[in-house]
Amino acid sequence: MVEFKELFPIRICDFEINNNLVTILFKKQKPTFIEKIFFKKQIEQPYKIDLDEIGSFIWHLCDGKKNITEITNSASEKFIEKIEPAEERVKLFINQMNKNHLIKLYEKK
């Protein structure tokens, strides 16, 4: 069993960059029947999530080349005390992105 911090996150949705901050663009996974009928135009529009400076930095590192430990170390070096406790904050961010199907976690073999 691979530890969480040894997993490699990779982005699986579109995003834009404005003023060095990331806006994640995604569509709802499974719209309800009512949403399909009455809100078809809204369903076709992507939802947006604006990330802050730290979230944007972590998002860029979720490229499938760095594991969670490496991402945590990079974020800790860049933001020093602003991100402490770094391991907990990065883990929370990555779990949230994974839970919402915005990134995928995999292990390298």
Does 67 score more than 90 pLDDT? yes
Count of all residues that appear for the chain in the document: 109
Handedness of CA 109, 64, 48, 55 (dihedral sign): positive
CATH topology of domain 4-106: Outer Surface Protein A; domain 3 (3.90.930)
Q: Binning pLDDT at 50, 70 and 90, where does residue 75 land?
A: very high
- pLDDT tens, position by position, 13-24: 999 999 999 999
Distance, CA of 60 to CA of 48 (rounded, Å): 17
Region 86-99 average pLDDT = 94
Strand partners, 9: 105
SS3 of residue 74 by DSSP = helix
Domain limits of the chain? 4-106
Q: Which residues of 27-44 are buried (b: 16+ CB within 10 A; e: fewer)?
A: eeeeeeeeeeeeeeeeee
